[in-house]
Copies of this chain bind each other. A is one copy, B any other.
C-alpha cells in the first residue's frame, strides 16, 4: 500500500487503521485488529509488548479447565508474536525514546496487519520500524511475520530478537502441567506444553531468517526462547527479519512438535513473499464468495466488510469438531465458549456464502450429540438437549455462578439450565443448511439426527396442563435474558411447535426417500408411532401466549403486568439495564434485553402473524428493548426492513455495524461480538435485500436504505452460485 492510497475509497473501505497511537483505546484496537485463519486467532497486541496488554493466541478446540476454575477456558498459547528490537543497545518500546510517528492498519482484504513506527532512541538514532503479520489462509498452521528496520538518521547498531514467549501468558488460570522451551541450534525455537486437565499437547515453533547478521540462540527469559541477529546499519540502509511460526496441537497431529518442525520446513522453503502471495490468493477467493458490495454508503460498506472479516477469520475451514465462540478467537470473553450465536447469527452467512464451513460447524454439533444426550439424561429428559455453552466435549459448560462486581453477592446463572431454546436454534440452522445447500448426504447421515433427537428432547420436556388441556413449558429463558425462568415464553413455545412440525415432516420425507436409513435412525432414537402421535398432540395443543384478535404476543406469562419503563428517554445509554437496575430488580421490570418476540418474527416471518400483527408487536416491543445484547440491533434491523420501517432499519443496522468498530458497548476489550457481525449480513440480506429461499426457488423483495445506489453479493443455493446486484431502481 503506497502512502498516497491510504485515503482512497478502494483502500479505506477495506481498512481499519489507527494513526497516531491512541493508548486509551489499547484494548479496543487489540481486539478489532485481530488476525486469524480459521485455525488460529491472534490479537493485535504489539510484538515488543505494552503495559497491561491482553496478548492472546487462541486455536480452536484446545480447552482446559484449570484447577481453580469452574468451567473450561479456551487456552491461551505461548505468544508467537514476540519480537524485541534494540537500537544502539536501547530497547524499542512505544513508551521509551520518542515515537515520532505511528500508523497501524489492518487490511481486511488480505488479513494483513501492519504497523509502522518512526522511533528515535535517546542517542538520537532514528529508525523506521515496520511490522507485518498474517496467519496464512493457505497454510493454516503458519503465522508469518516480517519486521523491517531502516536507519533514517545515524548508523545504529541493531539487534533483533525473535522469540516465543511462554513466560507472560494471560493472568489468572494456570492451564499447564508441562510448559517447556527448546531450540534446534539456530534452525528453530519452540515451546511445547500439555494442559493440566484436558491433556492437550501443543507446540509453537518458529524459524527466523535475517538478511543481516548471524543468528544466535539466546533466550529472553525462562520460557522465552529466542533467536537473535545483531548488525549495524548505515544511514538509509534497511534490514528485514522474517519469522515464521508453526502451531500444532494433538488435536491435529500425533506429535505436535514434529509436525510444527515439518510445517516450518515447508514454510521456510516457500518464503515470506510466496506465503503472502498464496495467502492473498486464498483471501481473494474467500471474499469473492462472501463480500457484499454497496454503492452509495462507504461507512456501511467498511463496517460490513469488517464484520464479515471477523466471522471469516474465526470460521474453521478444515476441522468439523470445533465451532466459533461468541467472541471468536479474539479475546478472553466467554472463555471461548460456543452459544446459539453461531447457529442463528454466523451460520446463515456461512451457509449461503461458504457452505463447506457451515457444514463443519454443524458437524461440530453432530459430533457432540452425546454431550447433549448426557445433559438431557441428567435433567431427566430424553433425546438431545444441547448445552447453552459448549466447548470441546459437548457437555454443558455454562458456569452456574458469577460475580459481576467485587463486593456484590454472586449471581446464579440460569442459562445453562433453562435457556433451552438453543436445541431448536441448532435444529433450525441444520434445516436451513439442508434446504439451502441441498446437501442430502450430510442431512440424511447427520443433520436429521440433530433435528430428530432434539425433537425427542422437546417431546419429553413439554408439560401437559390437564386443567386447560394444553401443552406448556415452564422455567424457560428466552432470548431476553433479563427475565429468567419464565413460564410459556412465546418465543420458545412457538419455536418448539415449529420444531416438532419440522420433525414430523422430516420423518415422513425420510421414510419415503431413504426407508432403510429411516428405519435404523428412528429405531436408534426410539421414535415410534406413539412418539409421533405425542408430537402431533403437542403441535396441536401447544400454548402460545398471544391475543387471537390482535395477534399481540405476551412475551411470557405475566409479562404484560411487569412494571414498564419508557426507554425513549434513556438515551444515550451505554450500560445495560440490568447492570443499572441490578439483576434481581430487573426480573420485575418490563424492559427487555434484546429481540425476543422480534426474533420470533425474524425467524418465522409470516408464520408469526400478518404484516399488521407483526407491526403491532413491533410497536409494542421495540420501545421496551434495551439492546443490552449485541445480538439485538441486527435482528431489529432485519425485521424493521421487512416491515418497511426504513429509518429504524437503517438506524439499527448502523448500530449493529458500529458495536465493535466504535466500541458502542464499551466491552470490545473482551473480544469481537461475532453474532452482531454475522447478524449484520443477515440484516443486509434478509432485511434489505429481502432474500427468501424456498425449495429450488429464491426471490428478492428489496427495501434498500434510500441512499444505497446498489447492493451486490453472491450466494450458493443448491450447489449453484448466484451473483445478485440490487439497485435502488
Known: A24-B23, A298-B298. A651 touches B572 (CB 8 A): no
Say yes or no: A3 contacts B566, CB within 8 Å.
no
Identify which of A100-108, A317-325, A601-609 touches chain B.
A100-108
Say yes or no: A19-B664 contact (C-beta < 8 A), given A120-B580, A655-B7.
Answer: yes
In the complex, chain B residues whose CB is within 8 Å of the CB of A25: 22, 24
Contacts of A571 in B (CB 8 A): 3, 101, 103, 116, 118, 128
Residue of A5, A117, A298 contacting most chain B CB atoms (<10 Å): A298
Binary CB contact string for chain A from 17 to 57 against chain B (1 if under 8 A, 0 otherwise): 00110111100000000000000000000000000000000
Question: Chain B residues with Cβ under 8 A from A12's Cβ?
Answer: 299
CB closest residue in chain B, given A99: B574
CB distance from A210 to the nearest CB of B (A): 19
* A150:B297 contact, CB within 8 angstroms: no
Nearest B residue to A658 via CB reads: B7
Please report the C-alpha to C-alpha distance between residue A297 and residue B650 in the assembled complex, in whole angstroms.
19
- Chain A, range 274-321, C-beta contacts under 8 Å to B: 297-299
Instruction: Please determine whether A570 and B128 come into contact, CB atoms closer than 8 angstroms.
Output: yes
Q: What B residues does A569 contact at CB under 8 A?
A: 128, 150, 152, 236, 238
Contact, CB under 8 Å: B23 / A651: no
What is the CA–CA distance of A321 and B298 in the complex, to the nearest angstrom? 44
B23 near A572 (CB under 8 angstroms)?
no
Q: Which residues of B contact A654 (CB under 8 A)?
A: 6-7
Q: Which residues of B contact A222 (CB under 8 A)?
A: none
- Any B CB within 8 A of the CB of A269: no
Q: A580-B100, A666-B20 are in contact. Are A4 and B651 (CB under 8 A)?
A: yes
**A588 neighbours in B (Cβ, 8 Å):** none
Interfacial chain B residues near A299, Cβ < 8 Å: 7, 12, 298
Q: Indicate whether A9 sits within 8 Å of B572 (C-beta atoms), given known contacts A20-B666, A22-B24, A23-B24.
A: no
Q: Contact: B573 with A100, CB < 8 Å?
A: yes
What's the Cα separation between A255 and B116 when bound, in Å?
58
CB-nearest residue of chain B to A116: B572
Q: What residues of B have a CB within 8 angstroms of the CB of A655 in the complex? A: 7
A402, CB-defined interface residue at 8 Å: no
In whole Å, how far is A574's beta carbon from the nearest beta carbon of chain B? 5
Contact of A647 among B5, B23, B103, B117 (CB under 8 A): B5
| Cα–Cα distance between A569 and B655 once the two chains are bound (Å) | 39
How far is B569's CA from A571's CA once the two chains are assembled, in angstroms?
Answer: 47
Q: Once the chains bind, are A4 and B647 in contact (CB under 8 Å)?
A: yes
Q: Is there a chain B Cβ closer than 8 Å to A512's Cβ?
A: no
Complex interface bits, A569-593 against B, C-beta within 8 A gives 1, otherwise 0: 1111111000011000000000000
B residues in contact with A524, CB < 8 Å: none
Of chain B, the residue at the smallest CB distance from A573 is B101
C-alpha gap A150/B573 in the complex (Å): 14
Contact, CB under 8 Å: B707 / A9:
yes
Pair B236/A7 contact, Cβ less than 8 Å: no
Return chain B residues, CB-CB under 8 Å to A572: 19-20, 101-103, 116-118
- Which of B22, B238, B565, B574 is the one whose CB lies under 8 Å from A20? B574
Known: A7-B654, A24-B22, A299-B12. A573 touches B118 (CB 8 A): yes
Q: Could you tell me the distance in whole angstroms from the C-beta of A13 to the nearest C-beta in chain B? A: 10
A706 to chain B, nearest CB (A): 9
A719 CB, min distance to chain B CBs, angstroms: 37
Chain B proximity of A279: nearest CB distance (Å)? 24
Contact among B102, B236, B581 for A566, CB-based, below 8 A: B236
In A613-670, the 8 Å CB interface with B consists of: 647-648, 650-651, 653-655, 658, 662-664, 666
Q: Give the Cβ gap from A570 to chain B, nearest Cβ, in Å.
A: 6
- Measured between C-beta atoms, what is the minimum distance from A411 to chain B in Å? 18
Choose among B3, B103, B126 the residue that contacts A580 (Cβ–Cβ < 8 A). Answer: B126
Bound-state CA distance A589–B581 (Å) is 64
Complex CA distance for A585 and B655, rounded to whole angstroms? 51
- Give Cα distance in the complex from A664 to B20, angstroms: 7
Chain B residues within an 8 Å CB radius of A98? 575
Shortest Cβ distance from residue A131 to the other chain B in the assembled complex, whole angstroms: 12
Q: How far does the alpha carbon of A117 sit from the alpha carbon of B574 in the complex, in Å?
A: 10
A9-B566 in contact given A571-B3, A651-B3 (Cβ < 8 Å): no
Does A408 make an interface contact (CB < 8 A)? no
Cβ of A8 within 8 Å of any chain B Cβ, yes or no, is yes
Chain B residues near A7 (CB, 8 Å)? 299, 650-651, 653-655, 658
Write the chain B residue with the least CB distance to A151.
B569
> In the complex, are the beta carbons of B570 and A118 less than 8 A apart?
yes
Bound form: Cα–Cα A720–B146 in Å: 60
Which residues of chain B come closer than 8 Å to A3, judged between CB atoms? 571, 651
B648 lies within 8 A of A4 (CB): yes
Chain B CB within 10 Å — which of A7, A8, A150, A653 has the most?
A: A7
Most buried by B among A19, A238, A565, A572: A572
A118 to chain B: which residues have CB within 8 Å?
Answer: 570-573, 575
Residues of B near A23 (CB, < 8 A) are 24
Closest to A662 in B: B19
CA distance A250 to B2 in the complex (A): 55
Closest chain B residue to A663, Cβ basis = B20
CB distance from A580 to the nearest CB of B (A): 6
Partner of A575, one of B2, B5, B100, B658: B100
> In whole angstroms, what is the CA distance A6 to B580 when docked?
24
Residue ID in chain B nearest A23 by CB atoms: B24
Beyond A7-B651, A9-B707, A298-B299, whether A152 also contacts B570 by CB under 8 A is yes
* A6 touching B570, Cβ below 8 Å: no
Contacts A9-B297, A298-B299 known; list 4 others, CB within 8 Å. Answer: A7-B658, A19-B574, A101-B571, A152-B570
Which residues of A does B touch, CB under 8 Å? 2-9, 12, 19-20, 22-25, 98, 100-103, 116-118, 120, 126, 128, 150, 152-153, 236, 238, 297-299, 565-566, 569-575, 580-581, 647-648, 650-651, 653-655, 658, 662-664, 666, 707
- 25 A-B Cβ contacts within 8 A? A3-B571, A5-B647, A5-B651, A6-B654, A7-B299, A7-B653, A8-B707, A12-B299, A19-B572, A19-B664, A20-B574, A20-B663, A22-B24, A24-B25, A100-B574, A101-B575, A102-B572, A118-B570, A128-B570, A128-B571, A152-B565, A152-B569, A236-B566, A236-B569, A298-B298
The list of the 8 closest CB pairs from A to B, nearest first, reads: A24-B24, A103-B572, A7-B654, A101-B573, A4-B651, A101-B572, A100-B575, A4-B647
